[in-house]
Amino acid sequence: MMKRSYHHSMAGVFVFLLLGVFAVFGTLLVLLGTNAYRATIDRTASHSDTRIVETFVRHAVRGEDAENNVSVVDYDGETVLVIGDPADYASYIYVYDGWLYELYSDDGFELGAGEQLCEASGFGAVVDDHILRVMISTDDGAISVVNTALYCSQ
């Protein structure tokens, strides 16, 4: 009789050990899956921000692409992309205080004015041989470069 009780208790311990191992591995799989999901979401958000900025700049230029309608100016040490006629309405795109801004105004330009579009740490723009090159850098070190042909200036 004693042998039978010992056999049943060992079977019970084995079942509980197997259940415990299953629970531990199940928990580990859930944690690994959660970390992979978070990394994917963060990477997707970063790429989406980059694509949004590139598309924004490209469409802003395309919407106002006319003869002598796109220029790059220096304002208090900051590079500003001016799209339109500053004497009339113009769109000013620039980085100031860690943000990419757009100001659409007929009343002149001032740093910090306009709408904050996204976080950015640097901005550069050059018009060379009918090509506008805009470089925008983010805090994480990514640099987005947008090359746009200025059709109306050809």
Neighbouring C-beta atoms of residue 92, cutoff 10 Å: 23
Task: Answer whether residue 154 shows pLDDT above 80.
Answer: no
Give residue 44's pLDDT band: very low, low, confident or very high (50, 70, 90): confident
Across 34-49, average pLDDT: 82
Q: Are 119 and 143 in contact (CB under 8 A)?
A: no
Name the pTM for this structure.
0.69
Across 96-117, average pLDDT: 90
pLDDT given for residue 3 in this prediction: 57
Buried b vs exposed e over 112-139: b needs ≥16 C-beta within 10 Å? eebeebeebbebebebeeeebebebbbe
CA separation, residue 27 to residues 14, 33, 130 (Å):
20, 10, 58
Task: Answer whether residue 81 shows pLDDT above 90.
Answer: yes
Cα–Cα dist 47/114, whole Å = 24
Across 71-82, average pLDDT: 91
